């Protein structure tokens, strides 16, 4: 009776050792590059520090008090929220429409899928440069088309003025990310078992009834994930804006991330930059959790 018990204990200890050996590299990296930095950001946010000098002044919660009243930060947050709302309203419905079209059409529409997917393959930086030229008043696409339509030289200045600049950026983001959600919904459709379609057909449903009564309701969980991703993505958005407008004109496209980056790596206010980064982290986490709480989608069917 003693022996098997002991054997089991040895076995479970061996398992624990093996598990630790395999897990240590990943956990070490996550601690070094994610967990420790988050803690350090909160700690640094209590200092006034330029990032280089040893002259690091402890100022407690002063940075946080400044942050609460920082109109630039809250304007940036407002822009993030606008970007978030329009991202969800544009990218997800269009992505879903495209996926529905591809799902109904089958493999012969593959060429549509390839071309629709292309924008997602460009890096955000490349897209930023490309669209700076496309939206330019001089030699840009929109200005050229407007000139052709009106028959006289017309400059469509989309990036130079607020609030158009923000909406122009939102349009570019829709161009970039719609393909991502398209693939998401293609995955969703392909996960619906074919037996369900067959059952619906046997019950006398046509394609449209199947789509609206069976397929789309089953996409619920995918829909929620897509919204969550789009939300988090737009709240931490950075690359393209940084390369396209740097937050300009006059802060019109400033987002939390670009503001934080400017403070930390252009003005070298790393203490306050850390407070902004930490504030951004808190806001993103709070919004994401709130969303998860509010929209509970039934996972079963």
Partner 1 sequence: MQSKMANSSKEITKSRIAWVIAFIFATFWLLVALVPFVFMILNSFRKQFDMLQQGPLHLPDPWYFDNYPEIIQKGFFGYFGRSVLIVSISLVLMLIIASFAAYPLSRMKFRLRNFLYAGIIAMMSIPMHVTLIPIFKMTNWMGLYDNKYSLIGPYVAFALPMSVFILTGFMMTIPREVEEAAVIDGCNKYNMFFRIIWPLSKSGLSTLAIYNGVSMWNEFAFANTFLHTASQKTLPLALGQFKGEFSMNMPMILSVLVLSALPMIILFIVFQDKLVKGMMAGAVKG
| 112-171: contacts with partner 1 (CB under 8 A) | 112, 114-119, 121-126, 129-131, 133-134, 138-141, 144
203 forms part of the interface with partner 1 (CB under 8 A): no
47, 73, 86, 261: which one contacts partner 1 (CB under 8 A)? 261
**CB 115, min distance to partner 1, A:** 6
Question: Among residue numbers 71 through 90, which ones bind partner 1 (CB under 8 A)?
Answer: none
- Which bin fits 277, alpha (ψ -120 to 50), beta or left (φ > 0)? alpha
Question: Among residue numbers 222 through 241, which ones bind partner 1 (CB under 8 A)?
Answer: 222, 225, 229, 232, 235-236, 238-239
**CB 62, min distance to partner 1, A:** 17
For residues 173 and 80, give the distance between their C-alpha atoms in angstroms, rounded to a whole number: 13
Q: Which of 269, 281, 247 is nearest to 72 (CA)?
A: 247
**CB 169, min distance to partner 1, A:** 15
4 forms part of the interface with partner 1 (CB under 8 A): no
For residues 58 and 43, give the distance between their C-alpha atoms in angstroms, rounded to a whole number: 10
For residues 207 and 193, give the distance between their C-alpha atoms in angstroms, rounded to a whole number: 15
Residue 47: strand, helix, or coil:
strand
29 forms part of the interface with partner 1 (CB under 8 A): yes
9, 14, 163, 301: which one contacts partner 1 (CB under 8 A)? 14
50, 190, 266, 267: which one contacts partner 1 (CB under 8 A)? 190
Cβ burial of 268 (10 Å; 0-12, 13-18, 19+) is middle
Other Cβ atoms less than 10 A from the Cβ of 174: the count is 18
Place of tokens 């829709």: 174
**CB 46, min distance to partner 1, A:** 13
191 forms part of the interface with partner 1 (CB under 8 A): yes
23 forms part of the interface with partner 1 (CB under 8 A): yes
**CB 245, min distance to partner 1, A:** 14
Q: Which of 106, 258, 253, 232 is nearest to 177 (CA)?
A: 232
For residues 244 and 136, give the distance between their C-alpha atoms in angstroms, rounded to a whole number: 11
Structure tokens at 113: 């899928």
183 forms part of the interface with partner 1 (CB under 8 A): yes
Q: Which stretch binds partner 1 (CB under 8 A): 19-27, 70-78, 156-164, 197-205?
A: 19-27
Q: Which residues pair with 57 in a beta bridge?
A: 48
Question: Among residue numbers 49 through 68, which ones bind partner 1 (CB under 8 A)?
Answer: 51
Place of tokens 């050229």: 144
């Amino acid at each position: 009776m003693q022996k098997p018990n002991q054997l089991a204990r040895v076995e479970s200890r061996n398992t624990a050792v093996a598990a630790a050996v395999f897990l240590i590299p990943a956990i070490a990296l996550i601690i070094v590059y994610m967990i420790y930095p988050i803690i350090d950001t909160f700690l640094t946010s209590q200092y006034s520090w330029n990032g280089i000098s040893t002259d690091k002044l402890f100022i407690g919660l002063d940075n946080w008090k400044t942050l609460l009243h920082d109109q630039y930060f809250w304007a940036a947050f407002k822009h993030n929220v606008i970007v978030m709302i329009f991202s969800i309203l544009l990218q997800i419905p269009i992505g879903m429409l495209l996926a529905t079209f591809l799902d109904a059409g089958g493999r012969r529409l593959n060429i549509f899928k390839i071309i629709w997917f292309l924008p997602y393959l460009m890096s955000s930086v490349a897209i930023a440069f490309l669209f700076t030229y496309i939206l330019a008043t001089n030699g840009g696409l929109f200005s050229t088309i407007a000139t052709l339509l009106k028959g006289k030289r017309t400059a469509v200045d989309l990036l130079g003025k607020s609030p158009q600049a923000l909406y122009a950026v939102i349009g570019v983001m829709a161009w970039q990310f719609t393909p991502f959600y398209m693939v998401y919904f293609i995955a969703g459709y392909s996960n619906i078992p074919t037996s369900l379609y067959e059952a619906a057909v046997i019950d006398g449903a046509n394609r449209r009834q199947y789509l609206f009564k069976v397929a789309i309701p089953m996409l619920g969980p995918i829909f929620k994930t897509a919204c969550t991703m789009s939300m988090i993505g737009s709240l931490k958005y950075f690359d393209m804006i940084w390369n396209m407008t740097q937050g300009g004109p006059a802060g019109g496209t400033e987002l939390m991330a670009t503001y934080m980056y400017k403070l930390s790596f252009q003005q070298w206010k790393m203490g306050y930059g850390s407070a902004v980064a930490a504030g951004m982290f808190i806001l993103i986490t709070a919004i994401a959790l709130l969303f998860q709480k509010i929209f509970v989608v039934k996972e079963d069917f």
